Amino acid sequence: MTCWKCQAAAALPACPTCGALQPLPAGGDHFAVLGLPRRHDLQRTVVEERQRELSRLVHPDRFATASATERRHSLLWATAVNDAAKALRDPVRRAEYLLQLKGLDVGDQQGGRQQVDPAFLMEMLELREELHAARGRRDDARVTAMGAAMERRRAALLAEIAAGFGRLGEGNDPDAVRALGQKLAVMRYVARFLDEIAAYEETRYQAGG
C-alpha cells in the first residue's frame, strides 16, 4: 500500500517514512486490524499485548494537533482495535467470529439455536429446574457442585472446539463448520447456566454468606 500523505510504501497502522496514520484496511476483519493470523489458537496474552501496542500508536491524544484526516483515522483505529480485542481475546467469542467469517452466525435463528439437540435442551431444562430448587432451599453445596460439573463440561467443550478448528484450518468444509456451530450453540446454554450460578453466589456473598 501507498501512504496517502507522502506516497511512500506504507505499513499499518502508520507510515514508516512520514509517520502518518493510515486508513483502516478496507474490509478488514478483527484479525487484520490487530495484524494477527486468522486462527482460533491465539493466546489471550498475545491479543492483549497487540491491543496495548496498537492503542499506544493510534490513541487520539497523539493526534490532537494533527490534520483532520489523521484525527479521523485515529478515532476509527482506536475503536476498531478495542472492538477487535474484545472479540478475539475470549476463545468462545473468537470461535463465533471465525464461524461468522465462514458464513455461519451462531446466534442466528437458522444458523445457531435450531441446531441444538432436543435431548440436550431437555437435559438443560431439567438441570435448570434442579438449580432453581437448590437455590430456593439454599442448598449451597448442591449449587456449588452443579457449577463445578458445568465448568468441567465447559472446559471439555472448549477443548472440542479448539480441536475442531485445528482440523478445519483455513478450509471451509460445510459439515465441519456446522459441527462447530452446534458446539458453540451448546456453549451458549452452558454459559447461561454458569451465569445463573454466578449471580446466585454474588447475591449470597452480598448477603454475608
Write down the pLDDT at residue 106. Answer: 81
Q: How far is residue 190's CA from residue 206's CA, in Å, rounded to a whole number?
A: 25
Domains of the chain listed by start with CATH number: 1-89 (1.10.287.110), 104-206 (1.20.1280.20)
Give the mean pLDDT of 38-43. Answer: 95
Give the mean pLDDT of 82-107. Answer: 94
CB 13 within 8 A of CB 22: yes
Q: Retrieve residue 103's grid coordinates.
A: 458464513
Write down the pLDDT at residue 196. Answer: 96
Q: How far is residue 52's CA from residue 68's CA, in Å, rounded to a whole number?
A: 24
Helix (H, G, I), strand (E, B) or coil at 14: strand
More confident residue, 113 or 194: 194
Whether the per-residue pLDDT at 209 is higher than 50: the answer is: yes
| Whole-model pTM over 0.85 | yes
Q: How many CB atoms are closer than 10 A to CB 129?
A: 10
Write down the pLDDT at residue 115. Answer: 72
Write down the pLDDT at residue 177. Answer: 94
Helices 174-206 and 118-136 pack at an angle, to 10 degrees, of: 0
Task: Quickly state the pLDDT bin for 94 (edges 50, 70, 90).
Answer: very high
Write down the pLDDT at residue 197. Answer: 96
Residues 107-132: tens digit of each pLDDT: 765 544 557 889 999 999 999 999 99
Sign of CA dihedral 9, 15, 18, 23: positive
Any idea how long the chain is? 209
Task: Quickly state the pLDDT bin for 208 (edges 50, 70, 90).
Answer: low
Nearest to 154 by CA among 183, 127, 123: 183
Give the mean pLDDT of 154-163. Answer: 97
More confident residue, 26 or 209: 26
Residues 62-81: tens digit of each pLDDT: 999 999 999 999 999 999 99
CB 26 within 8 A of CB 35: no
Give the mean pLDDT of 20-31. Answer: 88
Nearest to 176 by CA among 124, 113, 99: 99
Write down the pLDDT at residue 112. Answer: 46
